[in-house]
Amino acid sequence: MNKKYYEAYDDRYKQVHQSQNKPWAGDRPSPTIEKLLKKYGADSNSSILEIGCGEGQNAIYLMKRNYNLDASDVSLEAIRWCKEQAKIAGVDENRFFVMDILNNNLDKKYDFIFSVAVLHMLVEDKDRNEFFNFVRNHLNDTGKAIIVVMGDGKMTRKTDATKAFDLADRPFEDKIIQVATTSCRMVTWDQYLKEFQKANLKVINHYLDKTISGFEVCMVAVAEKGK
């Protein structure tokens, strides 16, 4: 079966892991996630889901700190890598699983769902709407979502999804390597906040963040289920 454009990261991870034996995104967690989890009352009893965990730098950090976390990604290679890193870190590798959130549902709801740098991979409106619907449908009634995307709230950009698997030169450490281009859509604050509203998610906090690993600037939004 043909891969969907938003699965191009699977190719990129394979290319980097095989040629460099290192993570594409590094292993530094983003402090923002734990800060926001704490601010909104998460503790070791709270159920947490990460969507699009990539190579697991945030998930493994939080698991090591005793958070009750499931972590998922559409990429088989990402989850293979995460399970290997989880074993090394001494956390439960079985909490990592492959899932395309645009085409799957879980039998479980969560107190917190977070996602770092995933939504901006989705260039089509219908896919972005599905992302928000998945989040809403998997939150407990008092649950909160923490969604971080690339962008400064002003610049807009939409790449051609048909080119997501094409190879492109990208800097990696001190060299240039060839990896899958992947996809990217950046939207304004106005559009981003409307997308939450459309899925009946009420944004209770939003701001620009320059501490997310691998990104110059990201838009962070925290939302809860609208009544």
The distance in angstroms from the start CA to the end CA of the chain is: 40
**Of 47, 182, 164, nearest to 114 (Cα)?**
47
Question: Which residue in the set 29, 54, 151, 153 belongs to the binding site for ligand SAM (CB under 6 A)?
Answer: 54
Pinpoint the alpha helices (H) of 68-188.
Answer: 76-89, 125-137
Which residue in 79, 91, 121, 146 binds ligand SAM (CB under 6 A)?
121
Report which DSSP code applies to 119. G
How far is Cα 182 from Cα 159, in angstroms, rounded to an integer? Answer: 9
Q: Is 29 in the site for ligand SAM (CB under 6 A)?
A: no
Q: Which of 53, 149, 161, 218 binds ligand SAM (CB under 6 A)?
A: 53
Q: Is residue 81 a contact point for ligand SAM (CB under 6 A)?
A: no
102, 145, 180, 222: residue in contact with ligand SAM (rule CB under 6 A): 102
Q: Which residue is nearest to ligand SAM, using beta carbons?
A: 54
Pairing of strands 68-73, 96-98: parallel
Instruction: Output 46 or 183, the one with its CB closest to ligand SAM.
Output: 183
- What span, in angstroms and rounded, lies between the C-alpha atoms of 83 and 91? 9
* Interface residues toward ligand SAM, by CB under 6 A: 6, 9, 25, 51-54, 73-75, 78, 100-102, 116-118, 121
